[in-house]
Amino acid sequence: MDICATNWFQLEAYLKQDDRVILPLGSTEQHAWLSLCTDYILASRLAGEVGELARVAVYPGLPFGMAPYFCAYPGTINLQPDTYNRLLSDILTSLYTSGFRRIFLINGHGGNSPVQAQIHNWLNQHPDARVQLHNWWSAPHTLRLVRHYAQNASHASWMENFPWTRIPGVTPPAHEKPALDVARLSQLPASAVREYIGDGNYGGHYQRSDDDMQAIWQTARQETLQLLEHGWG
């Protein structure tokens, strides 16, 4: 159930028979040859599809997250951890006040994951609520299929290249980029990150067949749906 196509009377009726809600978490940042909004697009699309299958309320996604290491690339929006923690807490509290008790966050961006600590703090204040932070791309079934296709797969590589994250008319490079040294990357300020990673792909080919990508998407959908239906603590 798309919140943007729902009025408050309808939501009030929904809340009498379900207390689940989905909120996609994205980021706007360099994704090499793919859309700057890749993480937002993927989390939002997955949320919309799974929400429709399960008839669960879906909020519009948060387009911005924490991406300090990409600040030297044009287009990146970077929220400070304090800002992001407070933003998410206010959203969780508002959802709780509305009557939601099981909140399912579909996260498209690894850099947002530290917000898990804040979620625990919020849960301590709202002990009857449940929150799942679901990193869809690194969930076991999805990641296993990704690694089955290729070990070398990471940020802005083929594993994020779906028909809906490509830029029309842009053809990415055909070669396989060697995997970056993430331990080295984590030591660098944004300007040196850009110098080191160049176009922004962390490693891997830039594109795979649509059949392979559809298979990954179907797996992610099933895995996400399963957690939304049965993954509550």
- Chain contacts with Zn ion (rule: CB under 5 A): 38-39, 160
Q: Specify burial of residue 228 (Cβ count, 10 A radius: 0-12, 13-18, 19+).
A: buried
Q: Specify burial of residue 80 (Cβ count, 10 A radius: 0-12, 13-18, 19+).
A: exposed
Token pair belonging to 119: 């979620």
Closer to Zn ion by CB, 26 or 51: give it. 26
Q: How far is the CB of 164 from Zn ion (least distance, A)?
A: 13
Minimal CB distance to Zn ion: which residue?
Answer: 39
Closer to Zn ion by CB, 39 or 223: give it. 39
d(CA 122, CA 71): 29
N-to-C CA span, the chain: 23
Closer to Zn ion by CB, 38 or 44: give it. 38
Q: How far is the CB of 67 from Zn ion (least distance, A)?
A: 10
Closer to Zn ion by CB, 19 or 39: give it. 39
Q: How far is the CB of 204 from Zn ion (least distance, A)?
A: 13
Say if residues 14 and 99 touch (Cβ distance below 8 Å): no
- Closest alpha carbon to 207 in 31, 1, 18, 44: 31
d(CA 47, CA 74): 27
Angstrom CA distances, 1 to 15, 47, 100, 190, stand at 12, 10, 14, 39
Closer to Zn ion by CB, 20 or 155: give it. 155
Q: How far is the CB of 89 from Zn ion (least distance, A)?
A: 24
Q: How far is the CB of 63 from Zn ion (least distance, A)?
A: 13
